[in-house]
Structure 1
Amino acid sequence: MNRTQTTQLMVFVSVAELGSFRRAAEQLGIAPSAVSHAVSALEESLGVRLLARTTRSTRPTDEGARLLARVAEPFADIAAGLQEASEHDGPPSGPLRVTMALSVAEDLILPRVAEFSTRYPSIELDIRADDNFEDIIKSGCDAGVRLGESLEADMIAVRASGPRRSLIVATPDYFSRHPAPRHPTDLAQHNCIRRRFSSGRIYRWELKKGRKALNVEVQGNLILPQQTFMRRAALDSVGLAFLFEQNIAADLEAGRLVSVMEEWCPSFDGFYIYYPSRRQMRPALRAFIQFFQVGA
């Protein structure tokens, strides 16, 4: 393998992982025409087609997928090693892109982000909050934070929280005008504050008692995109809300909100920081993991 092929392989890996010639050009800092030329030249030298191109997508062929499986990780190790070497003598620094659900940002990251920024002022933390599950390789992110049940098997995961649970709550004023529900079927008689994910899907309340699990499609005249907004609406006595217990602990203690049907609201597995299985890790990512992992 000559130096030219090494460069062409690097370009191919970027296109294959990002699924786009344009995005690969942006990542590599070269012209799109140079990306196309490098991939075409590599295909010609190998005598096989590596990428299937359409007007809507770019994906590896079977031959391209096999090549990608062999060379992607070594190139990632080289890039990580170069980055680590450049940061070795100083504090963790540089851009750090982390994808997470909106609820994770609200519940786990934002309450401590000021402390993180103060401790690591040279890290440029780029939080991408979206309820759609984002492939961290294709999106160019360094890591993600999600519920443990959502993780891919080939990711390394570090626990970032203990178990969590959501509670069905409303104000004493609301319950003075509406009888408290005792069973999931009673929810049909209540105005429930619903949540719409960024994908467009409206969340179905996940309830469980013993071995009986239900996904309840509640009804109500208000739909909101974030738990912060839902809490505010619940405090204004709009209706019932299904909210993370940790986010409303002070409201419950002060009596501003009252929980019901707690036997139908079990704990679930908490959040994890996940990242690709690579031997080397940038100091900025290591700092993020050590700061936000459980017990930090």
Structure 2
Amino acid sequence: MHGTELAELSAFLAVARYRSFKQAAVERSVAASAISHTIRSLEERVGVRLFHRTTRSVSLTEAGERFLSELHPAFGQIEKALDSLNSFRGTPFGTVRINIPNSIAPFVLHDVMGPLLKQNPGLHLDIVATDRLVDIVEEGFDAGIRFGERLMQDMIAVHIKPTLRFSVVGSPDYLKGRNIPLMPGDLREHSCIRYRYPSGAIYNWQFEKDGEAVDVEVNGPITLDNQELMVEAALQGCGLAYVWDNRVMHHLASGALIRCLDDWCAPDDGLFLYYPSRRYLSAGLRAVIDMLKAGF
């Protein structure tokens, strides 16, 4: 088997994984037209149609499904064989694909990426930061980072740093003439900047104190899907925002924002890197895990 055939098979796996030529092209850093051409060449060479294509969707044919079931384990063995060469190197090589929520990515990875790549010059990180709920198996990630309560089954979870917490903040202009909330229920008397998940669901503000957990359905004049915009809205006096504490520390220090309900905002020490239990743990992923556990 020569290099062109391997490239075709790798492209087939990517399209089958995403059910999308566009997404497969993004993963492989090529144009969608190049992926389409590669798949067409593979189908012409084997004489069998592997995908059903419409303007809206891509799906596997019966032949494609069978081909995928037999090809996927073989590529897993190839990946494992390549990774075994790391035992002869001082540092691991290869690509590690990680999914992480966009809202926490800067705080989790801020002090990690530089040292990780300096210590492992053969390593390539492919990080996708999105607040969309991602199935790391279906979308071809080696691992994901998520809080423990949202982990899927059949995953190995490794506790990592840092410890993060939310804060309720508002500008002095907004709080002027208003009662500062002392209990979570007081938020119903305030304009709050709501957060919308990529799924469309609105986030209820969650608090905890002395073992008591409280969820509050807040209301306000603005709903956003980005924490940076939420901070900006709070700075402009649109209402109270509930955002990651790391994102507003310098605004709190300068007095541009004021912290509320501090004793109800408990630190969340439940951050995990997770990967499928049946997946081979590569040397590259092991290096990533070690760095995140150390919490630089």
TM-score relative to the length of structure 2: 0.71
Counterparts of 1:90-101 in structure 2 under 5 Å?
90-101=90-101
Q: Which amino acid aligns with 1:203?
A: Y
> What is aligned with 1:85?
85
What CA distance in whole angstroms lies between the structure 1 residues aligned with 2:88 and 2:17? 27
> What is aligned with 1:260?
261
Deviations 1:194-225 (A, max 9, x none): 33445555433234565664241331347461
What CA distance in whole angstroms lies between the structure 2 residues aligned with 1:275 and 1:170? 38
Give the direction of change, closer, same or farther, for the CA distance of 1:146–1:174 in structure 2 (3 Å limit): same
The answer to whether the 8 A contact 1:131-1:197 is kept is yes
Give 2:39's match in structure 1, choosing from 29, 35, 42: 35
SS at match of 1:78: helix
Give the direction of change, closer, same or farther, for the CA distance of 1:150–1:261 in structure 2 (3 Å limit): same
> What is aligned with 1:149?
149
1:291 CA drift (Å):
0.7
The answer to whether the 8 A contact 2:204-2:216 is kept is yes
Counterparts of 1:94-133 in structure 2 under 5 Å?
94-133=94-133
Q: Which amino acid aligns with 2:144?
A: G
Structure 1: which 5+ residue stretches go unaligned? none
The answer to whether the 8 A contact 2:180-2:260 is kept is no
Q: Which amino acid aligns with 1:109?
A: L
> What is aligned with 2:169?
169
> What is aligned with 2:241?
241
The answer to whether the 8 A contact 1:144-1:273 is kept is yes
What CA distance in whole angstroms lies between the structure 1 residues aligned with 2:235 and 2:22? 47
Matched, 1:217 2:218: yes
Deviations 1:132-153 (A, max 9, x none): 1233344343322122222221
The answer to whether the 8 A contact 1:99-1:145 is kept is yes
Q: Which amino acid aligns with 2:215?
A: L
What CA distance in whole angstroms lies between the structure 1 residues aligned with 2:214 and 2:66? 42
Give the direction of change, closer, same or farther, for the CA distance of 1:75–1:175 in structure 2 (3 Å limit): same
Deviations 1:44-96 (A, max 9, x none): 6xxxx986655433345789768756763453232232244278425334443
> What is aligned with 1:275?
275
What CA distance in whole angstroms lies between the structure 2 residues aligned with 1:267 and 1:214? 16
Give the direction of change, closer, same or farther, for the CA distance of 1:294–1:251 in structure 2 (3 Å limit): farther
Give the direction of change, closer, same or farther, for the CA distance of 1:83–1:57 in structure 2 (3 Å limit): farther
Q: Which amino acid aligns with 1:274?
A: Y
Give the direction of change, closer, same or farther, for the CA distance of 1:213–1:110 in structure 2 (3 Å limit): same
Query: Structure 1 vs Structure 2: percent identity of aligned residues?
Result: 33
Structure 2: which 5+ residue stretches go unaligned? none
Alignment RMSD: 4.3
Q: Which amino acid aligns with 1:19?
A: R
Equivalenced residues, count: 286
Counterparts of 1:54-73 in structure 2 under 5 Å?
54-59=54-59, 72-73=72-73
The answer to whether the 8 A contact 1:164-1:244 is kept is yes
What CA distance in whole angstroms lies between the structure 1 residues aligned with 2:269 and 2:67? 37
What CA distance in whole angstroms lies between the structure 2 residues aligned with 1:179 and 1:76? 60
